Amino acid sequence: MMDYKDLDAWKKACLLCQKVVKTLKSVEVQNRVLANQLYKSAISVPSNIAEGMGRQYAKEKIHFLHIARGSSYELETQLLIADRCGIARFSVETQELMKDVQMLIQGWIRHLKRESHK
């Protein structure tokens, strides 16, 4: 069984989470509602990857990877809102990392679906 900590999707999702947390440390108190939602979404992505990989069956793993992918799009939207509202500025590197995470999650979903149909 593969350890979730060996997955590039999980590693990059954790790195993305770290970048979000570091950026949000400077957010002012009046913007805490969005900041708290950003924290939750950022943490949800690697957490759901890990939870899915802890499941026994491919269908369960895929389910949690879909949740992780959905959380990544939720996070992406919140990052765009925070940036456009001037609450927090996220680097191009962070935005590119977000796309990498989404592609890696989708690739892992495709892989698991192919493997489960063999």
Q: pTM for the complete prediction?
A: 0.91
Give the domains, in start order, of the chain with CATH numbers.
4-116 (1.20.1440.60)
Side-chain-side CA neighbours of 19 within 13 Å: the count stands at 19
Longest alpha-carbon distance in the chain: 53
Q: What per-residue confidence (pLDDT) applies to 34?
A: 84
pLDDT tens per residue across span 29-51: 567 788 889 999 999 999 999 99
Name the band, by pLDDT with cuts 50, 70 and 90, for residue 1: low
